[in-house]
Amino acid sequence: MGIFDSIKEKLLTKKSAEPAKTTTAAKISTPAPAAPAPAGKIVIPPPQAGTQAVAAAKAALAAQEAAEAAKKAKEEAQKAEPVDIEATIEAMVKAKGVTLNWRTSIVDLLKALDLDSSVAARKELANDLKYSGPHPDGSAEKNIWLHKEVMKALAANGGKVPAALLK
């Protein structure tokens, strides 16, 4: 995984506020009359069990499927919403209790994200972003280019980046 992938992971991956729950997908099965229902499955009883039992099991299955569809729709909606890059980085910097010039400095931006900001790491980032200018081993020009390209790439990957940071 490259440096830019690490940046995307830190900024564009939405963390859910609620803990993940593991669920088993509902499956319809008709077991032999004496067989117990496997855990996590909704079992449709055989017809001789009565229409009320069959109807109740089908209703439970429909409710579970509806809940799973709603959860999937919510996750898709979250993916579609752009991540506010400026607010996210500001919150990270504030949590650290330090002053960083991340809006113009690639070194401070990487520090804000708890990523390696060394010359070697910036060289790897330049490779990730296809830097082809002079001074491949580090220069102010390259660092300025890196910062601008990171912001452009974040915007291209679903981030909401202020216009001032894209110039």
Q: What is the pLDDT of residues 130-164, one digit of tens each?
A: 998 877 676 899 999 999 999 999 999 989 999 99
pLDDT for residue 77: 60
Domain of residue 115 covers: 82-166
The answer to whether position 94 is within a domain reads yes
Please check whether residue 162 lies inside any domain of the structure: yes
Burial 120-132 (b: 16+ CB within 10 A, else e): ebbbbbbebbebe
**Domain shared by 116 and 67, yes or no:** no
pLDDT confidence tier of residue 95, bands split at 50, 70 and 90: very high
The last residue of a domain, from among 48, 64, 80: 80
Q: Is 157 exposed, middle or buried (0-12, 13-18, 19+ CB in 10 A)?
A: middle
- 89 and 157 inside one domain: yes
